[in-house]
Amino acid sequence: MKRFAWFVGCAASLAISGWCLDAEAHGGIPRAYSIQFEPGNPSHAIARSEYWGMFVTRDGGTSWRLACSDVFGVPYTALNPSPTALLRGGTMVTTGGVRGMWISRDGGCSGSHDNPFGEASAVDLSTTPDGSSLYAMVVRPDADAGPSGLSSQVWLSNDDAATFSPVGTSVPQLLTNLAVAPSNPAVMYAVRGEGIDPATLLVSRDGGVTWASLLVALPSTDVVGLRILGIHPTDPDLVFLSEALQHVFAAAEPPTSVMVSADGGETMTTIFKGQGAVFGLTFSRGGEEVFFGGPQDGLLRADVAALRARDPTAVKSVSATPVYGLTWTADGLYAGGNEWGASLPFTIGVSHDRGITFEPVMGLCGVVPLACGRNGAPAPECAGAARDYVTDILTAHCGADGAVSAGAPPAKASDGGSPSGAPQPNGTSPDGGASSAARPDLNIQSGCSAASSGSDGAAPWLFAAALVIRAARARRRDR
């Protein structure tokens, strides 16, 4: 009941303001839950954290700067799991819950809050690989839509998020997750987020004009819902899913399962059962391998051909390194890491050996505020209390000389706290998939300084819950 009360309380906060304050005094630990490189410009990348804001590099990771979340209307100590997109040309877009979208065209120094959807709200974003098209899952109050009182529709922008147009007709259901196939944007997947009926995956093969529902048999009965982890870069029918929102609640959640479908969602195979949340999934450059993992289960790898053949040994443990966001580039495998520990000294790292070892790319000790004004001054919203707060945290963490201190902030379940669920013998799950047991020794090339990056699943569900609350209020007012 406590975890449900927190969820409803947070949703109520979102319904009012679009963000949810964290109860921890330290205001949350920065994590790279999403690492995105600008299409066509590998020197420009952003890392979205659920706290503090976005970390930005314009020189290929040599230096990183913080665009504090206050610039896009969210207090720096607030939980802000908003889906984010980086478009070709450098435009940054993030959903604003019930408050519309935040769009920045100057690298994060300033932005505008726009709501091109009227009374509706965007709950998730997806882009084409070239960054030219941006899709948004938009939800609006609808008294005839069923238990949630909400209907959903895909909107599309082909002009750098300047304008959006609806695609097809709305679906009288609450859809919380959107993923567009990289090889064929006519194929897209969504997840029904009612939270009261069996979890449902929906597929569209005409660009969101019409949708077909696919009932998914979940491996656990105590599940909030589904989350789309990713779609294969060349096969739009090969889609990966996981249980959603395991990282939001207390530690006594069921182990997260990763599932794969090779037939467009018609059938599902569980390939992994772990101890905690799975945040990241990415594919090797040619799509031959898939990488995924989380803070408790580390990094895992699977051969795609073996997955198609339903080989129960396809998933292999690569490293015990806690990971968050994952992305593959020509330079290697990028991963969000855990800096608050002596053996895990990076917030973003890159691996050139398929995840066996990592080199630090960004550490908090090397981060400075984003230079926006005269003489490199930060944005006005990032000065004052926000700047002092971040400075105090970094001084305590890095020390006056930039060396990582031995102290660490309080552990939280959402930061990969104590593991739950018992691993199975020989590193296998009860149904033959890989488990989180039998990890190799940690092998990380370390260093503090950074001078030497589909959304995790929380935001769409939290925003959707907020919209449900708002729809219920509207119904009461209309009576």
Q: Which residue has the higher pLDDT, 150 or 447?
A: 150
The two three-digit tokens of residue 139, written as one number:
């939800």
Other Cβ atoms closer than 10 A to 473: 12
* End-to-end CA gap in the chain: 30
CA 263 – CA 255 distance, rounded (Å) = 25
Q: What band does 376 get if pLDDT is binned at 50, 70 and 90?
A: confident
- Across 10-19, 291-300, 349-358, 412-421, least confident range: 412-421
Q: Which helix (H) or strand (E) holds 57?
A: strand 53-57
Percentage of the chain exceeding pLDDT 90: 37
- Report phi then psi at 468, rounded to 5: -60, -45
CA 400 – CA 391 distance, rounded (Å) = 11
Percentage of the chain exceeding pLDDT 70: 67
Q: Is the pLDDT of residue 247 over 70?
A: no
Contact 323, 338 (CB under 8 A): no
Domain boundaries, the chain: 2-478
Q: Is the pLDDT of residue 187 over 60?
A: yes
Q: Considering only CA atoms, which of 317, 310, 332 is closest in space to residue 423? A: 317
Mean pLDDT of all residues belonging to the chain: 75
Please give the average per-residue pLDDT across 400-408, as a whole number: 45
Please give the average per-residue pLDDT across 224-233, as a whole number: 87
Looking at the whole model, is its pTM more than 0.85? no
Give every strand in the sheet of 92-95, ordered side by side.
84-86, 92-95, 101-104, 112-114
CA 323 – CA 173 distance, rounded (Å) = 33
R_g (Cα) of the chain, nearest Å: 21
Tokens 């690569």 belong to 318
CA 228 – CA 268 distance, rounded (Å) = 13
CA 352 – CA 448 distance, rounded (Å) = 19
The two three-digit tokens of residue 48, written as one number:
């979205």
Please return the burial class of 72, using the count of CB atoms within 10 Å of its CB with bins 0-12, 13-18 and 19+: buried
CA 222 – CA 178 distance, rounded (Å) = 23
| Residue 194 DSSP code | -
Q: How far is CA 214 from the centre of its chain?
A: 23
Digit-coded pLDDT (tens) for 284-312: 989 999 999 998 899 999 999 999 999 99
Q: Which CATH architecture does the domain made up of 2-478 adopt?
A: 7 Propeller (2.130)
Please give the average per-residue pLDDT across 340-361, as a whole number: 83
Other Cβ atoms closer than 10 A to 157: 20
What pLDDT is recorded for position 143? Answer: 85
Q: Is the pLDDT of residue 429 over 70?
A: no
What pLDDT is recorded for position 341? Answer: 60
Other Cβ atoms closer than 10 A to 46: 26
What pLDDT is recorded for position 195? Answer: 52
**Strand 65-68 versus strand 368-369 pairing type:** parallel
Contact 39, 422 (CB under 8 A): no
Tokens 């219920």 belong to 472
| Residue 402 DSSP code | S
CA 165 – CA 432 distance, rounded (Å) = 45
